Amino acid sequence: MLAIFRSRTAAMRTVAIATMLVLIAGASSVARAQAPTPVAGRDYIEISNGRPLDPADGVVVVEEYFNYICPGCNAFEPVFAPWAARLPSGVKLVHVPASFRADFVQYARAYYAAQSLNVAEKAHAAVYEAIHRARTLPAEGQRPDEEKIAAFYADYGVDAQQFLAAMRSLGVDLKVRRAADHMQRIRIPSTPSVVINGRYLVQGQTYGDTLRIADYLIEKEKERTAAASGG
């Protein structure tokens, strides 16, 4: 009799938990459905004559302006990365490293060097980890050390001297300058910042709010580009 009672109790608990999860999921869906439509000037800024740093025909470009040394970017990354991984077809993510502070420059150069050596995305999350948690790379307020940075990327199959050469190359220098000029032209105020198709600077109150607004603007741009192409 006791075994039957325990079995029934366990079953009731299972049903209760399942019901609770369904209710939570439903509440979340309702909350998303009831979220107000983003408003220009409050939730996002329209960029006059805006275009992405690297436009692509028929593709909506999502740009994340960041720097590895930035604490806010480090906090945003665990929220942003899963969202970015689920971007639909016809949407392209581009990371744009900021260099508007002296201690940002070496990490901007490191990103473009890693990109030229095809290890930027593979190492992306690990760079944040090394700076902000493991403390094996220089953090905010510390002297940037390009040799330490180059040694870090050796773990990703790149010779440290080869990485140093890439960081110091004219090609990387031009990319850093081009990104800086673009950020100044479209008036990126801080990092992290998200821009949709070069036309909209997202102004979320929280990281989750930022991504909600970004989702709305992506759909808005997909509709515009489809209409422009006659699709």
Q: Where are the domains of the chain?
A: 1-34, 44-228
Is pTM beyond 0.85? Reply is no
CB atoms within 10 A of CB 27: 10
CATH 3.40.1440.60, applies to 44-228: no
Q: What is the largest CA-CA distance in the chain?
A: 81
Sheet holding 91-97, edge to edge: 44-46, 200-202, 193-196, 60-66, 91-97
Q: State how far the alpha carbon of 92 is from the alpha carbons of 50, 59, 60, in Å.
A: 17, 7, 6
Instruction: List all residues 6 or more positions away from 81 whose beta carbon is below 8 Å from its beta carbon.
Output: 125
- The count of residues in the chain is 231
How deeply is 52 buried, as exposed, middle or buried, from its count of CB atoms within 10 A (0-12, 13-18, 19+)?
buried
Q: For all residues of the chain together, what is the average pLDDT? A: 88
CA distance linking residue 109 with residue 86, whole number of Å: 28
Model confidence band, residue 129 (pLDDT cutoffs 50, 70, 90): very high
pLDDT at 56: 87
The mean pLDDT value for 161-189 works out to: 97
Least confident of 8-12, 47-51, 128-132, 204-208: 8-12
Contact call for residues 62 and 218 (beta carbons, < 8 A): yes
Model confidence band, residue 113 (pLDDT cutoffs 50, 70, 90): very high
pLDDT at 28: 41
The mean pLDDT value for 37-44 works out to: 96
Please provide the distance, in angstroms rounded to a whole number, between the alpha carbons at the two ends of the chain.
67
Model confidence band, residue 35 (pLDDT cutoffs 50, 70, 90): confident
pLDDT at 57: 87
CA distance linking residue 83 with residue 213, whole number of Å: 12
Contact call for residues 223 and 199 (beta carbons, < 8 A): no
pLDDT at 27: 43
Give me the percent of the chain exceeding a pLDDT of 70: 84
The mean pLDDT value for 45-72 works out to: 95
Q: Please check the confidence at residue 11 and state whether its pLDDT lies above 70.
A: no
pLDDT at 189: 95
